[in-house]
């Protein structure tokens, strides 16, 4: 009896593979750095070698695999499994699903990584039991996934949920990679938080200054979150400001979608109440009672397992739907 799903989380820095059982638990996993030139063929070769190693180290074989789900940091056509573009990997128009199904001879499903994370949270994380969800992942950028009637919503060309580029600051917003200014992601992502911290580090004292020196006149988003939790006021204010921006943007989204649940994940979400308190306050200020009264805002639960479990959830979800 086929009993596990392979989930693959493809990122610009690393590739994670995991075997996930039908309850959504990771039973075995593996992480390799993404091949240096990131080419399509080298990544496929890495997938092959990693899957062999993963199975060899586990008690499973290909016979046990229900299918392979893959989360991709880019645009794709969910129905054909053809990848349009992955900017970070330099991929354009690659038939990933087709090629992997030929190699592995099991069903392969691809999804944008933020969408996969949203489905994963609905399967076994913070979204369990809900069927109208907006899921945000606050990392280097800000990814979003929209769940409607229990299913990922793709929109006209698969771009639904690309909320990182909502304009939130028309005047004086920072320039974004996308060419616009003042995008949600230039104001509230981990990257934005690091930039703001670097701008303010000169005036700062104590913990932040020490950590900045220790990291060779630099700072990571993870450290900003940790310092905020240790009580550093500069880091706390910067994260709180991001929360305020996010809360307003989410309020505006709720007028359109009136979701029952908003799930917020990614590295910055580990700041907990330092992020969530101002975020929720701002959300309440901008969303009318009628629109927000049935909407909860919660922290994602899958943490760094979100990528693998989210990818595996594709097979679980669509397998269930078709049976």
Proportion of the chain in helix, strand, coil states, percent, rounded to 5: 45, 25, 30
Cα angle 91, 94, 99 (rounded to 5 degrees) comes to: 130
- Residue in 134, 239, 300, 309 binding its own copies, rule: CB under 8 A: 134
With respect to its own copies, which residue has the nearer C-beta, 97 or 292?
A: 292
Torsion of CA 129, 276, 116, 2, to 10 degrees: -50
Asked if residue 260 binds its own copies (CB under 8 A), the reply is yes
- Residues 135-154, interacting with its own copies (CB under 8 A): 144, 146, 148, 153-154
- Residue in 295, 297, 312, 313 binding its own copies, rule: CB under 8 A: 295
Say whether 124 sits in a helix, a strand or coil.
Answer: helix
DSSP state of 181: B
Choices 5-13, 196-204, 253-261, 300-308; region in contact with its own copies by CB under 8 A: 253-261
Asked if residue 317 binds its own copies (CB under 8 A), the reply is no
Residue (of 255, 262, 273, 247) closest to 297 by Cα position: 262
Q: How far apart are CA 224 and CA 198, in angstroms?
A: 10
Neighbour count for residue 95 (Cβ, 10 Å): 14
For residue 196, give the H/E element and its range: helix 190-200
- Residues 68-107, interacting with its own copies (CB under 8 A): 75
With respect to its own copies, which residue has the nearer C-beta, 204 or 297?
A: 297
Residue 118: CB minimum distance to its own copies, A = 13
Site string for its own copies, 1-40 (x = CB under 8 A): ----------------------------------------
Site string for its own copies, 164-203 (x = CB under 8 A): xxxx--x-------xxx-----------------------
Choices 9-17, 29-37, 57-65, 283-291; region in contact with its own copies by CB under 8 A: 283-291
Say whether 75 sits in a helix, a strand or coil.
Answer: strand
Residue 59 burial class via C-beta count within 10 angstroms: exposed 0-12, middle 13-18, buried 19 and up:
exposed
With respect to its own copies, which residue has the nearer C-beta, 260 or 319?
A: 260
- Residue in 213, 255, 273, 304 binding its own copies, rule: CB under 8 A: 255
With respect to its own copies, which residue has the nearer C-beta, 137 or 223?
A: 137
Beta carbons within 8 Å of 171's beta carbon, 6+ residues apart:
182
Encode burial over 226-246: b for 16+ CB neighbours within 10 A, e otherwise: bbbbeebebbbebbbbbbbbb
With respect to its own copies, which residue has the nearer C-beta, 88 or 218?
A: 88
* β strands within 117-211, DSSP E: 133-138, 142-148, 151-152
Residue 151: CB minimum distance to its own copies, A = 9
**Cα torsion 308, 311, 315, 320: sign:** positive
- Residue in 88, 104, 257, 319 binding its own copies, rule: CB under 8 A: 257
- Residue in 155, 175, 231, 272 binding its own copies, rule: CB under 8 A: 155
Q: How many residues bind its own copies (CB under 8 A)?
A: 43
With respect to its own copies, which residue has the nearer C-beta, 7 or 144?
A: 144
Q: Interface residues with its own copies (CB under 8 A)?
A: 75, 132, 134, 144, 146, 148, 153-167, 170, 178-180, 248, 251-260, 286, 288, 290-291, 293-295
């Amino acid at each position: 009896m086929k009993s596990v799903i392979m989930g693959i989380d493809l990122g610009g820095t690393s590739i994670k593979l995991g075997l996930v059982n039908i309850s959504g638990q990771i039973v075995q996993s593996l992480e390799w750095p993404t091949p240096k030139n990131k080419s399509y063929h080298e990544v496929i070769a890495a997938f092959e070698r990693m899957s062999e190693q993963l199975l060899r180290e586990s008690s499973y074989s290909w016979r046990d695999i229900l299918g392979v789900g893959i989360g991709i940091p880019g645009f794709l056509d969910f129905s054909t499994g053809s990848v349009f573009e992955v900017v970070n990997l330099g991929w354009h128009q690659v038939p990933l699903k087709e090629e992997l199904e030929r190699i592995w001879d099991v069903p392969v499903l691809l999804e944008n990584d933020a969408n996969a994370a949203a489905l994963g949270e609905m399967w076994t994380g913070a979204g369990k039991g809900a069927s109208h969800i907006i899921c945000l992942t606050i990392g280097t950028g800000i990814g979003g996934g929209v769940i409607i009637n229990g299913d990922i919503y793709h929109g006209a060309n698969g771009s639904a949920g690309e909320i990182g580029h909502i304009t939130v600051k028309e005047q004086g917003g920072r320039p974004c990679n996308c060419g616009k200014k003042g995008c949600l992601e230039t104001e509230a992502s981990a990257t934005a938080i690091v930039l703001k911290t670097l701008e303010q580090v000169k005036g700062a004292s104590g913990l932040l200054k020490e950590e900045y020196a220790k990291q060779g006149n630099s700072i990571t988003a993870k450290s900003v979150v940790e310092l905020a939790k240790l009580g550093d006021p500069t880091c706390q204010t910067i994260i709180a400001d991001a929360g305020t921006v996010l809360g307003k943007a989410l309020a505006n989204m709720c007028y359109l979608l009136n979701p029952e649940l908003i799930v917020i994940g990614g590295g910055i979400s580990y700041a907990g109440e330092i992020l969530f308190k101002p975020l929720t306050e701002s959300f309440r200020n901008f969303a009318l009672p009628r629109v927000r009264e049935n909407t909860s805002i919660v922290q994602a639960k899958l943490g760094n397992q979100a990528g693998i479990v989210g990818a595996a959830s594709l097979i679980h979800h669509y397998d269930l739907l078709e049976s």
